[in-house]
């Protein structure tokens, strides 16, 4: 599978809350750099650690979707994906945008940089009592 296909499948699995589907597309030694509440970066080591972080969001409790708005191949193994996020849960809603820069050298994501437009809003939404 070429890097843009991997990126599209990864975002589709994330949007569907398909943890097994996401995991299959991540290198075991994944390095992920995820925007935190303050606009800084949290580093997550390993595919299982990343999936555990996503599972903690409890996507199943939300009406949630991620739509790709733009996908650009920066170089053969590097893909930039712009997304729009919509989520609703317990009378609360979230609308955000994010960029995902994915290094995909051998058919699996080896490095993942994620930057959100409104990180504090996301943190508040996902950490709110369910």
Q: How far is CA 82 from the centre of its chain?
A: 11
User: Could you give the CA distance from residue 71 to residue 3 in angstroms, rounded to a whole number?
Assistant: 11
Domain that holds residue 101: 3-127
Return the CATH number at 117. Answer: 3.10.450.50
Name the domain count of the chain.
1
Confidence class of residue 119 from pLDDT cuts 50, 70 and 90? very high
Dihedral (CA of 107, 103, 16, 43) sign: positive
Section 14-33 average pLDDT: 97
pTM score, two decimals? 0.93
User: Could you give the CA distance from residue 16 to residue 36 in angstroms, rounded to a whole number?
Assistant: 22
Section 112-128 average pLDDT: 92
């Amino acid at each position: 599978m070429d890097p843009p296909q991997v990126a599209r499948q990864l975002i589709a699995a994330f949007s569907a809350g398909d943890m097994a589907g996401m995991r299959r597309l991540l290198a075991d030694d994944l390095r992920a750099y995820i925007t935190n509440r303050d606009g800084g970066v949290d580093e997550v080591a390993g595919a299982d650690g990343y999936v555990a972080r996503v599972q903690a969001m409890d996507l199943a409790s939300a009406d949630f979707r991620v739509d790709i708005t733009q996908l650009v191949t920066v170089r053969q193994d590097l893909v930039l994906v712009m997304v729009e996020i919509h989520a609703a849960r317990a009378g609360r809603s979230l609308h955000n945008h994010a960029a995902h820069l994915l290094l995909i050298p051998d058919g699996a994501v080896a490095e993942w940089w994620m930057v959100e437009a409104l990180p504090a809003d996301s943190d508040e939404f996902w950490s709110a009592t369910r």
